Amino acid sequence: MTYTKKCRKSGGAVITPALQALTSRATPDSQQGELQGVLTSLHALSMVISPLLMTSVFAWFIRPETSLYLPGAPFLLALVLMAAGFLLFLRARPAVA
């Protein structure tokens, strides 16, 4: 469990600074503080909403009266959300000539 948690945390430790670097390069100097504030706010908001959402989804799909017993539903929801984010990224990315 500890090894898995460390691997997961190390991925976030690499992705967050890389995301901030990419977005800060595309933002004018006069708006850097606003950008970092928005990124930090979104990160904090996701840290609050994610456990609440995923535990609710898990509880819903392991209820005795549910027609579909699926304890992996939070992982499937995470997959769908990540795919949606990836599609938004591809759509918003400027075309390279």
- Can you give the pTM of this predicted structure? 0.69
Two tokens at 90?
A: 């591809």
Mean pLDDT over each residue of the chain, to the nearest integer? 85
Q: Please, which pLDDT band fits residue 95 given cuts at 50, 70 and 90? A: low
HEC-encoded secondary structure of 36-96: HHHHHHHHHHHHHHHHHHHHHHHHHHCCCCCCCCCCCHHHHHHHHHHHHHHHHHHHHCCCC
What pLDDT score does 58 carry?
A: 96
What pLDDT score does 8 carry?
A: 64
